[in-house]
């Protein structure tokens, strides 16, 4: 009994440590957002973890009134949604075909496709920038909408392959015997069963897109076309002056909704990853 | 309801000939069982009839129409997979209604049909459940209900009882057979269990290595197996085979009885039987041991009904008898059935 209680205590202790560790950045961002310059920069002796002076909304005012923050958010949303749509449209049929129709080669192709994802963007952005220029998409959100699927599609295809493989072939064939074409069977049986995977891919492609930095920095220089990751850093870091409170606020406002959605899908995420891993047998 | 004709059907998977020159006609309303060990091509044959697998060669006709090029949905068949393949995301009701929706039937008709099928299989109270909330037996019934609801011409079943426990299986076997009689639909039933095959089939097709070994009624297969494969695949324990010169002599364990209870035999022959082990199984007794009067010394089994009270002990030799009319003869090289040969029975004096 005592040992058990001790174990439970230890477990809770460790969990508390982890929670502090993961929640601390959010907390730090939150209080920093509302601190005035005087407190943040000059008051060195005071405890930095709490407010020592009255909190202020000035920093958020700066963020919303003196920068294009709302435009950045809108741009990020536009790019994110467009990339998610493209990714789903390509990855769903691709993963189905690789999982079901391509036999032993499907497996190898799937792994090769995944490899593409591992090539770092720092290597790819030079050739990519030529393509973007060639397409005349410089300084346009479209450049990102064209480029981002080059890494979301391979990764999401690989991820979805695991989900697709976990759907029994029998069930699909049964639908074909029960009076449907292959496409009808896919629509009525495979898609509904792959839905957790598709949702995972939606969330994943979206977050992958919104936190991307290098391509966004390389291809877009006009402020009104920037996305959050580049817009915030370029407009709130002027020379060597960092507007820390506004930067924190900008980050927090987009991080919280994403974190909530992630949490909602966490289990399925993990299922998706491990399924992908198991198929590599 | 329809006749299914299969002509020179082949299916190769790379090097493997899964189905090899199969010719078969399944009569209207017949319950035909495909019986064979695992890997003998039963599932492949069934899947070709269903249209899920394309034949490498040959022809399949359903109701006189060549269906080789038709997709499964155009063949008016229903299939029950070994796994039952219930749609996990649908309720039992929607599972059963699914084939009806494909033909665009209206709501009210669908409901009538689903409810009728559900009552027929005693699953009416489960209609709102999801498949994962059902037991194995219930899943099997749902799969059957879904298969019959569309009133197919041909009913294809791939080992539908193999996922049930032994007790449930016997019951399900009986129900399935009764139900097939009732609706009288042409049925192809795949199994590796010879008890199931013998008990249910109007005719049984024994397969091995993709080839048909023999087609016939259970009685015919049992009485006159076409080769040693069929002889040793049927019955439990299977037929005893004893070599003599270049021929193999076969006799069923239950036709090899102690001398004295052979009154019904027309031309009994006496063979000494050295009993090494006795097994009591309630309704019968299995005696294991050796015969050496006929051909070489060979291990055989005798199956005596428990009505025969005769005391038999392991370690002693008794005079046993078999009826000449019950013997089967096979060629030693090919294993095929041949005409009776003259038996040489040496009365093993020294034993
Ligand atoms: N899709 C397939 N690909 C390759 N070989 C297969 C495939 N399906 C079946 N086989 C092979 O064909 C043979 C017959 O298999 P199957 O029809 O499943 O036999 P059964 O149902 O009698 O156990 C086996 O040797 C099996 O390995
Ligand atoms: Mg099989």
The candidate with the shortest Cα–Cα distance to A170, out of B112, B183, B163, B23, is: B163
Examine the domain organization and report whether B266 and B341 are in the same domain.
yes
Closest residue of B to A194, CA-based?
A: B89
* Among B190, B223, B256, residue at a domain's last position: B223
Read off the pLDDT of each residue in B85-111 and give the average, rounded to a whole number: 94
Ligand nearest to the CA of B205: 1
- Whether residue A178 and residue B98 make contact (CB cut-off 8 A), yes or no, is yes
CA distances from A129 to A125, A217, A228 (A): 6, 11, 20
Name the pLDDT band for A280 (thresholds 50, 70, 90): very low
Pick from B78, B87, B103: CB nearest A171: B87
Q: List beta partners, residue B59.
A: B7
Candidates A101, A172, A174, A184: best to mutate against B (most CBs of B within 10 A) is: A174
Per-residue pLDDT tens over the stretch A64-89: 998 899 999 999 999 999 999 999 99
Element (H, E) at B272: strand B268-280
- Whether residue B71 and residue A176 make contact (CB cut-off 8 A), yes or no, is yes
ipTM above 0.90, yes or no: no
Chain A CB contacts of B87 under 8 Å are 171, 174-175, 189
Examine the domain organization and report whether B14 and B93 are in the same domain.
yes
Most distant pair of Cα atoms in chain B: their distance: 83
* Partner B contacted by A101 (CB < 8 A): no
Among A111-125, A208-222, B55-69, the range scoring the smallest mean pLDDT is A111-125
Compute the distance from residue B241 Cα to the ligand 1 centre, in Å.
30
pTM: 0.83
Per-residue pLDDT tens over the stretch B226-270: 999 999 999 889 999 999 888 999 999 999 999 887 678 888 888
Examine the domain organization and report whether B213 and B244 are in the same domain.
no
Residue B232 maps to a domain? no
CATH of the domain at B325: 2.40.50.140
190-209 in chain A: CB under 8 A from chain B = 192-193
Most informative mutation of B33, B41, B207 for ligand 1 (most atoms within 8 A of CB): B41
Per-residue pLDDT tens over the stretch B101-134: 999 999 999 999 999 999 988 999 999 999 989 9
- Whether residue B150 and residue A179 make contact (CB cut-off 8 A), yes or no, is yes
Nearest chain B CA: its distance from A166 CA (Å): 12
Per-residue pLDDT tens over the stretch A196-212: 889 889 988 998 898 89
Name the pLDDT band for A112 (thresholds 50, 70, 90): confident
The per-residue pLDDT of chain B, averaged, comes to 91
pLDDT of B135 over the 60 cut: yes
Residue B306 maps to a domain? yes
Residue B229 maps to a domain? no
- Total structural domains in chain B? 2
Percent of chain B at pLDDT above 90?
A: 74
Residue B125 maps to a domain? yes
Examine the domain organization and report whether B200 and B65 are in the same domain.
yes
pLDDT of B348 over the 60 cut: no
Q: Sketch the domain layout of chain A as residue ranges.
A: 2-56, 62-279
Examine the domain organization and report whether B53 and B185 are in the same domain.
yes
Closest residue of A to B101, CA-based?
A: A179
Examine the domain organization and report whether B126 and B162 are in the same domain.
yes
Candidates A179, A184, A192: best to mutate against B (most CBs of B within 10 A) is: A179
Examine the domain organization and report whether B14 and B145 are in the same domain.
yes
* Partner B contacted by A48 (CB < 8 A): no
State in words which class domain A62-279 has: mainly alpha
Distance from the first to the final alpha carbon of chain A: 42
Rounded-to-integer distance, Cα B307 and Cα A211, Å:
84
Query: Is residue B40 in contact with ligand 1, taking CB distance under 6 Å?
Result: yes
Rounded-to-integer distance, Cα B298 and Cα A206, Å:
74
Pick from A182, A184, A189: CB nearest B87: A189
Pick from A170, A179, A189: CB nearest B73: A179
Rounded-to-integer distance, Cα A255 and Cα A258, Å:
5
User: Across B72-76, B164-168, B310-314, which has the greatest mean pLDDT?
Assistant: B72-76
What values do phi and psi take at A230, rounded to 5?
A: -90, -35
Nearest chain B CA: its distance from A174 CA (Å): 7
Token pair belonging to B21: 């020159």
Name the pLDDT band for B349 (thresholds 50, 70, 90): very low
pLDDT of A246 over the 70 cut: yes
pLDDT of A272 over the 60 cut: no
Rounded-to-integer distance, Cα A255 and Cα A28, Å:
13
Residue B230 maps to a domain? no
Residue B233 maps to a domain? no
pLDDT of B197 over the 60 cut: yes
Among A112-121, A135-144, A183-192, B184-193, the range scoring the smallest mean pLDDT is A112-121
* Among B223, B250, B273, residue at a domain's last position: B223
Per-residue pLDDT tens over the stretch A9-47: 899 999 999 999 999 999 999 999 999 888 888 877 888
Per-residue pLDDT tens over the stretch A132-173: 999 999 899 999 999 999 999 999 998 898 889 888 999 999
Query: Is residue B18 in contact with ligand 1, taking CB distance under 6 Å?
Result: yes
Hey, what's the torsion of the CAs at A159, A163, A165, A167, to 10 degrees? Answer: -170
Read off the pLDDT of each residue in B304-311 and give the average, rounded to a whole number: 87
- The residue that leads in pLDDT, A149 or A2, is A149
Rounded-to-integer distance, Cα B340 and Cα B327, Å:
8
Rounded-to-integer distance, Cα B187 and Cα B2, Å:
10
CATH of the domain at B120: 3.40.50.300
Examine the domain organization and report whether B76 and B198 are in the same domain.
yes
Residue B150 maps to a domain? yes
Host domain of residue B312: 238-348
Q: Contact B36/B42 with Cβ under 8 angstroms?
A: yes
The per-residue pLDDT of chain A, averaged, comes to 87
């Amino acid at each position: 009994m005592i040992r058990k209680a001790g174990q439970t205590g230890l477990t809770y202790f460790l969990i508390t440590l982890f929670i502090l560790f993961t929640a601390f950045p959010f907390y730090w961002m939150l209080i920093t957002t509302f601190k005035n310059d005087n407190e943040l920069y000059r008051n060195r002796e005071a405890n930095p973890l709490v407010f020592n002076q009255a909190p202020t909304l000035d920093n958020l005012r700066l963020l919303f009134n003196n920068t294009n923050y709302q435009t950045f958010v809108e741009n990020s949303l536009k790019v994110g949604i467009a990339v998610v749509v493209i990714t789903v449209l390509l990855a769903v049929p691709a993963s189905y075909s690789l999982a079901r129709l391509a036999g032993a080669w499907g497996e190898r192709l799937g792994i090769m496709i995944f490899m593409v994802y591992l090539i770092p963007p720092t290597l790819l952005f030079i050739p990519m920038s030529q393509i973007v220029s060639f397409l005349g998409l410089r300084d346009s959100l479209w450049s990102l909408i064209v480029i981002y699927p080059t890494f979301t599609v391979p990764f999401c295809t690989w991820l979805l392959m695991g989900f697709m493989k976990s759907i029994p072939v029998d069930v699909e064939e049964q639908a074909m015997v029960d009076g449907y074409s292959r496409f009808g069977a896919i629509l009525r049986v495979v898609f509904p069963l792959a839905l957790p995977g598709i949702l995972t891919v939606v969330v994943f492609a979206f977050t992958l897109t919104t936190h991307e930095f290098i391509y966004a920095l390389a291809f877009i220089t006009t402020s009104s076309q920037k996305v959050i990751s580049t817009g915030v850093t370029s407009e709130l870091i002027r020379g060597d002056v960092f507007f820390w409170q506004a930067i924190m606020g900008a980050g927090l406002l987009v991080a919280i909704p994403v974190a909530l959605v992630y949490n909602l899908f966490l289990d399925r995420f993990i299922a998706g990853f491990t399924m992908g891993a198991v198929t590599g047998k | 309801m329809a006749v299914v004709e299969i002509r020179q059907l082949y299916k190769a998977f790379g090097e493997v000939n899964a189905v090899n020159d199969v010719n078969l006609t399944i009569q209207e309303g017949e319950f035909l069982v495909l019986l064979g060990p695992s890997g003998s091509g039963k599932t492949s044959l069934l899947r070709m009839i269903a249209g899920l697998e394309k034949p490498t060669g040959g022809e399949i006709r359903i109701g006189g129409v060549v269906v080789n090029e038709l997709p499964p949905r155009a063949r008016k068949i229903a299939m029950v997979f070994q796994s039952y393949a219930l749609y996990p995301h649908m309720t039992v009701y929607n599972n059963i209604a699914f084939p009806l929706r494909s033909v665009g039937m209206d709501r009210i008709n669908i409901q009538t049909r689903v409810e009728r099928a559900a009552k027929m299989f005693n699953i009416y109270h489960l209609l709102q459940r999801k498949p994962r909330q059902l037991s194995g037996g219930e899943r099997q019934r749902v799969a059957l209900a879904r298969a019959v609801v569309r009133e197919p011409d041909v009913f294809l079943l791939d080992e539908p009882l193999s996922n049930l426990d032994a007790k449930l299986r016997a019951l399900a076997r009986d129900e399935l057979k009764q139900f097939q009689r009732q609706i009288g639909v042409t049925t192809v039933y795949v199994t590796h269990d010879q008890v199931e095959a013998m008990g249910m089939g109007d005719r049984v097709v024994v397969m091995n290595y993709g080839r048909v070994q023999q087609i016939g009624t259970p009685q015919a297969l049992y009485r006159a197996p076409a080769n040693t494969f069929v002889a040793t695949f049927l019955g439990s324990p299977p037929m005893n085979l004893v070599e003599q010169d270049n021929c193999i002599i076969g006799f069923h364990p239950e036709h090899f009885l102690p001398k004295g209870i052979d009154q019904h035999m027309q031309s009994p022959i006496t063979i000494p039987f050295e009993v090494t082990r006795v097994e009591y199984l309630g309704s019968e007794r299995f005696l294991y041991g050796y015969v050496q009067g006929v051909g070489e010394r060979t291990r055989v089994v005798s199956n005596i009904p428990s009505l025969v009270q005769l005391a038999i002990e392991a370690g002693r030799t008794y005079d046993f008898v078999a009826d000449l009319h019950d013997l089967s003869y096979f060629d030693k090289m090919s294993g095929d059935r041949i005409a009776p040969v003259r038996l040489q029975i040496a009365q093993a004096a020294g034993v």
